[in-house]
Amino acid sequence: MSPRFLIPLGVFAALVVVLAVGINHSPEVGVLQSPLVGHQIPDWELPILTDPTKTLGSRQLKGQWYVLNYWGTWCIACREEHAALLAAQRDARVQIIGVDWKTDNPTEDSDALEWLAKLGNPYSQVVSDHDGRTAINLGIAAAPESFLVNPEGVIVFKQPMGITPEVWKREFLSRLPPHSTVPPATPGAS
């Protein structure tokens, strides 16, 4: 066999390797990897869903671990994720702050309250993002997306899609200190 004629087979083998890796990594391939991971979470401050006169923000949460979860009632995948979030809440290892992302749903606020009442509320606190500016500032591309933030305010992990029980264990719990618990709710700032 002349070596020249083996080249196509060699190129093809390399291609198969790339595609196989692609399958194993999918569905993360093509999903944006956030450049913010490992950096300070950009300052955010949003009104609390149940009492919009008060706000909650990254400044008040300094010193605590928290998960920031972007969701919306219009989002089918968030519905899928909901059960996993309730289970995570039962773990009680870290507080989950929900951000209700309004986008173009005019009744999102009331829809969100209804959703939480009907399906259960896995969040320690829920804030609203009405104009979407915070979403862009945090590099949110779609819902649901979640950040794990440490007490120094650094994003240690971002889940660019829905959280599942496996992902919760593998990526979130593994990064928390062994005896972390949910602190009493941080009071909103007026």
Q: Residue 33 interacts with another protein (CB under 8 A)?
A: yes
**Interface with another protein (CB under 8 A), residue from 38, 63, 120, 132:** 132
125: three-class secondary structure by DSSP:
strand
Query: CA-based angle 100:147:59, to the nearest 5?
Result: 80
Residue 167 engages another protein in binding (rule: CB under 8 A): yes
- Count of helices and strands (H, E) across the chain: 5, 7
What tokens appear for 53 in the block?
Answer: 């006169």
List C-alpha distances in Å: 115 to 38, 79, 82, 122.
Answer: 33, 10, 10, 11
* 38 binds another protein per the rule CB under 8 A: no
Binding footprint of another protein, residue count (CB under 8 A): 54
3-state secondary structure 172-184: HHHHCCCCCCCCC
Measured distance CA(49)–CA(33) in Å, rounded: 29
154 binds another protein (CB under 8 A): no
CB of 187 to another protein, least distance (A): 29
Query: Any contact of residue 43 with another protein (CB under 8 A)?
Result: no
Name the one range near another protein by CB under 8 A: 7-15, 50-58, 88-96, 169-177: 7-15
Q: Is 29 in the site for another protein (CB under 8 A)?
A: yes
- Of 133, 177, 185, 189, which one interacts with another protein (CB under 8 A)? 133
Strand partners, 66: 95, 149
Q: Which of 53, 90, 104, 174 binds another protein (CB under 8 A)?
A: 104
Choose which of 86, 113, 119, 142 interacts with another protein (CB under 8 A).
142
Site string for another protein, 55-94 (x = CB under 8 A): --------------------xxx-xxx-------------
Question: What distance lies between CA 162 and its chain's CA centroid?
Answer: 7
Starting at the edge strand found earlier in the chain, the sheet holding 95-101 runs 125-129, 95-101, 66-71, 145-149, 155-159
User: Residues in the site for another protein, rule: CB under 8 A?
Assistant: 1-2, 5-6, 8-9, 12-13, 15-27, 29-36, 75-77, 79-81, 103-104, 131-133, 135-142, 161-162, 164-167
